Amino acid sequence: MTFLALSRVTGMPISRSKQFVSLPLQGLDWKWLQNVRWMNEKASPNRAYIPTTIEHIANVVTHGVWVFPSVVASLELIDRATSWPQYWSAVVYGAALILLFTVSTFFHSVFYCNSNTQLKDVLHRGDRAMIYVFIAASYFPWLTIQPFPLTGWTAELWWIVWVLASLGILYQQLFHEQYKCLETCFYLFMGIVPSLAIINMHEFSGLTELKIGGFLYILGVVFFKADGKIPCAHAIWHIFVVLAAGVHYYAILNYLYPTVVTLDSNP
């Protein structure tokens, strides 16, 4: 089986990188569009799904375009910080946000170009590890800046979520591409259970946005598990991640980093 396409002009094979550059230019070619392979066969158990060319490109683009905005968004948090908890939260959450999109884009680009299998494997592990890191980092500003008084065992959540993330990463390194459904359950457990504890015990501004974001992540998991069943399923999962992270960022920015309004006493 070959993954090389042939040039229409010369009949010679086109490299992956050249296909990547030339494909968007063929966007108006309807014949090409009709011949697009939107998805491949579902992967067998314990094997990674092989995306089609269009799926590879969608995977790179849907996260790639958010690398730069995530840098700007993180700098905005740092700029608004007026206390140490706010500053550290901006650094931790911002770094996780930037790394989430950067590692994902790098992994999907290398996977598409298929130039280095070992590098692809390392980046795939990094991409999955970033999910755990980003879940823990999403809790971080709320548990560090504390817009609500943490009582009982919820006061311990600050370190519990990082221990859960570390255990998740350790498990994922040991059993990479094995028991994949169990891994998805771990993501859901870490994203849902600590948040339920907080929701049950506290009422605070931003809770609605946190619930909407959480719901979008959970809805996205349906597509995360649908490779080979729904065309471009993984890219759709990426879009849900962007939407959910966007809603959570909006809540963090508005409720944990409000702009300080200075009243001018001399109008």
Given the rule CB under 5 A, which residues bind Zn ion?
104
What is the C-alpha separation between 31 and 159, in angstroms, rounded?
A: 55
Minimum distance, C-beta of residue 47 to Zn ion, in the bound complex (Å)? 17
Minimum distance, C-beta of residue 6 to Zn ion, in the bound complex (Å)? 29
Minimum distance, C-beta of residue 104 to Zn ion, in the bound complex (Å)? 5
Q: Which is nearer to Zn ion, 234 or 248 (CB)?
A: 234
DSSP state of 198: H
Q: Which is nearer to Zn ion, 104 or 195 (CB)?
A: 104
Minimum distance, C-beta of residue 206 to Zn ion, in the bound complex (Å)? 27
Q: Which is nearer to Zn ion, 78 or 119 (CB)?
A: 119
Please list the helix, strand and coil fractions of the chain in percent, rounded to the nearest 5, in that order: 70, 0, 30
Q: Which is nearer to Zn ion, 102 or 104 (CB)?
A: 104
- Residue 231: CA count within 13 A, CB half-sphere: 7
What is the C-alpha separation between 4 and 6, in angstroms, rounded?
A: 7
The answer to whether 238 is a known ligand-binding residue is: yes
What is the C-alpha separation between 102 and 190, in angstroms, rounded?
A: 22
Residue of minimal CB distance from Zn ion?
A: 104
Radius of gyration over every alpha carbon of the chain, rounded to an integer in angstroms: 21
**Helices 233-251 & 84-113 angle (0-180, nearest 10):** 170
Task: Name the nearest CA neighbour of 142 among 215, 71, 214, 239.
Answer: 214
Q: Which is nearer to Zn ion, 114 or 208 (CB)?
A: 114
Minimum distance, C-beta of residue 168 to Zn ion, in the bound complex (Å)? 17
Known binding site for Zn(2+): residues? Answer: 108, 234, 238
Known binding site: residues? Answer: 108, 234, 238
